[in-house]
Amino acid sequence: MDSILVWFRRDLRDHDHAALCEALRRARRVHCAFVFDCEILDPLRHTPDRRVEFIRESLLELDHALRAQGGALVVRHGWARAEIPLLARELAVTAVFANRDYEPQARQRDAAVAMALRAQGIGFELFKDQALFDGEEVLTQAGRPHTVFTPYRNAWLKRLSQDDWQPHRGKGGRLVASPLALGVPSLVELGFGEAGLRALGIAPGMSGGRERLQDFAGRLHLYRQQRDFPAVKGVSYLSVHLRFGTVSVRQLVALAVTAGALRPGAEGAATWLSELVWRDFYFMILDRFPHVVERSFRPEYDAITWEQGAVAEQAFADWCAGRTGYPLVDAGMRQINRTGYMHNRLRMLVASFLTKDLGIDWRRGEAYFARQLNDFDLAANNGGWQWAASTGCDAQPYFRIFNPVTQSERFDPGGRFIRRYLPELASVPDRFIHAPWRMSAAAQAACGIHVGLQTPAPIVDHDEARRRTLQRYGVVKRGGVPRRDR
């Protein structure tokens, strides 16, 4: 081809980029573009948004990297459905290349763009990039999509070969700098304010991704032991970089495999690789079963009646604000509100608390996370919430109900994480930090608190809530014997 336009979306890097490398292989000249899509941004406008700031900062770095190679990034602000066909015509390209997106809204957008380009005689091709395997690459023996994780993981690992995690490399064509590449608009021009990424310790862009990856590589061997403890630096903190593609999934799989994930004994690397397989699994579920965006994966769970009314609304508001009276639940919610990040163990705990202690529809919690999370990804967010609510594929049984006190004692035993986000409990002894209401009035006074004043009393009794949850989920008519709280 004479010239191709590469449309960057959630893949903000200049290396190991499927669409970019394929364009360089097949065309003499390659243009690059990104669209701040009003379809996505308009509902968020006029408020600081860490994700928009992350994208903008990452684009500045990407544009600089492309210019160093003779190219440049054309950045538009408008409706991508219109801007990409318009830009393709202005640049007189033969085709537009982009990497595949599995979200229903994105697929509708891409279909509209393809139709508009076709009317102009311009091609449109999509490539696999954000998942290691997609489409029909991992199926059951009957040729159907997997709906249970463990068989999917086994099939995924069986299919995995060295070629799958090799980086994409483009040769042949050259990047070109169009006069239309006028730089990256400011946050103000986009209708947003500063969100304080740097103050939160979030380094955007490819350089930020490299820093996180290098830091995690030295801790990978401890991943399985430490990943469940929010007060410990045990996880990768790469999720926002994976979300916006400032690192590639092939880099991460290569790290795990090099560290021995496919050999016995390397538990940290093997557990990390399994988490990457979960990511592919949820992409596949969203791609093949798009009804999960609005409904339960398992239709019978749509018969559940969730709590509504004034009491439920107040409970939801308390959950959002971190005022439930259960310290680890509240610490997790304050973390997400303050930083846009929440540790994965706490994501499971607060989701279980909302759906099974408060009886509130999982979709409300999912939507709240979608607004708050820096690393919000529809596939993973939906999958995680449906797992916690027992409505999803391969979800925890409905009678598995996390006890917020037991979880706190197990995963924040010294209360370090609780004290970080609930400083009002700083003087509470370790043995009461997980349930301050169990202290006597005198002991509370000695710690400078009064449960119900300086710190909220529990808004629900867990044992009573558990009983109501078993009744609520009884409509599903699932078999099994209720287990003890975990």
Q: Which residues are catalytic?
A: 275, 278, 306, 344, 362, 385
Question: What does the DSSP assignment read for 253-273?
Answer: HHHHHHTTTTSTT-HHHHHHH
Contact 278, 157 (CB under 8 A): no
DSSP letter (8 states) at residue 354: I
Question: Token digits for 407?
Answer: 């979880």
Roughly what angle, to the nearest 10 degrees, separates helices 344-352 and 378-389?
Answer: 50
Report strand pairing: 95-99 vs 73-78. Answer: unpaired
Phi/psi for 360 (5° steps) reads -100, 140
Is the torsion defined by CA of 159, 161, 164, 165 positive or negative? Answer: positive
Residue 356, classed as helix, strand or coil, is helix
Cβ neighbours of residue 337 closer than 8 Å, sequence gap 6 or more: 320, 321, 322, 372
Distance, in Å, from the CA atom of 355 to the CA atom of 350, rounded to the nearest integer, reads 9
Of 325, 463, 486, 338, the residue nearest 402 (C-alpha)? 486
User: CA 39: distance to chain centroid?
Assistant: 20
Of 316, 306, 307, 436, the residue nearest 367 (C-alpha)? 316
Give the residue carrying structure tokens 């970080």. Answer: 420
Distance, in Å, from the CA atom of 154 to the CA atom of 359, rounded to the nearest integer, reads 35
